[in-house]
Amino acid sequence: MSGPLDDLSVVEIANWIAAPSATALMADMGASVIKIEPPSGDSMRNKLRQPRFPEGVKGTDMVFQMDNRGKRSLAIDLNHERGREIVAQLVDRADVLVTNLTRGRLERYGLGPEALHRRNPGLVFALATGQGSRGEEADNLAFDVTAFFGRGGVTGLLGEPDGPPVAPRPGAGDHATSLALLVAILGALRERDRTGEGQVVETALMRVGTWTVGCDMVTTLIDGRQPTRRSRTRPFSPMNTMYRCADGAWLVLSSHNQATWPEFCKAAERPELVSDPRADSAANRFANAEELVAIFDEAFGSQPFDYWVPRLKETSLIWSKMAELPDVIRDPQAREMGMFVELEHPDVGRFETLAAPFSFERSEVRARGRAPEVGEHTVEVLDELGMGEDAIRALLEAGVIKAPAPRS
């Protein structure tokens, strides 16, 4: 079975997570992806190595493996003019260039969109930034913690009303941004199918952060006010919060249909609250939410989660168990959806990682192999460009490129 992007050639000049994870998904869909790295390697390599991993896994960063699988690595020093010429030659043959280097840095290297489009008019030039590529802050560096969560407005909406901000989880904003970048690339490729012309597409961590909280932002655009943080104990309705069960598991509810109130009270074994004057209307349930949540805290806290499952299944409520990550791994539904994939690594052996977050009915989407070592495919890629052994050896000796020693 073929992949939907089998005929695409992609060059990546990027590091960390947001841009590389977009090209990893393109590789899953069959695209040929060449990752351009400095001789020292992508800055992300081994940055999030987990000390709790078994001894055999400690030498490999699993986050890097996820976001760089299925690619080939060309280690090249862009400070050398010859190195920049080689990259330009690769881009001449490419359908897509994906980068998160600043526009200023790209221009200094002679790898800006205008220069590359003169050489390859059909190129889709995809740029991932922190705060965009225009304005006074265009070249300011950013991570998702600062641009997506911080400046994008996400962190300001999270946490208890009077408490400190909630610390973001690593890479969450990056992976959301990668999906926006991927959508833009695929749209530009579709346009190129019609016109034959490439173009620049761009997304930014800050922009995607604000998009993710769009339900709040569109109201703030009208009234200019910051939404109030919502406490678990002060929701819009007792049917839209979380309750801790006797075994410590959390029940998550998100039921906006006020007609389900009698079902909720019956499932929680508090039928008397259906007609209680504190809760006999949506307005009263909102006004008395804190008091009502305390009652349901006591109710759901009296029995373990599994006790409530058959009672909740009899209702039309929207609910789930709050899963911790080991629970997700064991979840039969996650397995049914194909959320995980197994890869082979020469140092680690077989290991599981996340699969692409989408599937096709008639096309193959799969992880095509582990992430490469730094410069693992340098010689192979240059050979495809028509360079002979002597020319490649000269580049190695001059420090323009790097290639690892063959594995024994």
List, by residue number, the catalytic residues. Answer: 174
Sign, CA dihedral 382-388-391-394, equals positive
Sign, CA dihedral 235-155-163-250, equals positive
**Residue 256 exposed, middle or buried by CB count within 10 Å (0-12, 13-18, 19+):** exposed
Give SS3 for 65. Answer: helix
φ/ψ of residue 352, rounded to 5: -95, 145
Other C-beta atoms closer than 10 Å to the C-beta of 113 total: 21
| Cα–Cα nearest to 13, from 66, 69, 85, 91 | 91
Sheet with 32-37, strands from edge to edge, namely 200-204, 124-129, 96-99, 9-13, 32-37, 72-76, 401-402
**Strand extents, DSSP E, 63-171:** 72-76, 96-99, 124-129
Place of tokens 């709790």: 52
* Structure-token pair, residue 39: 């001789």
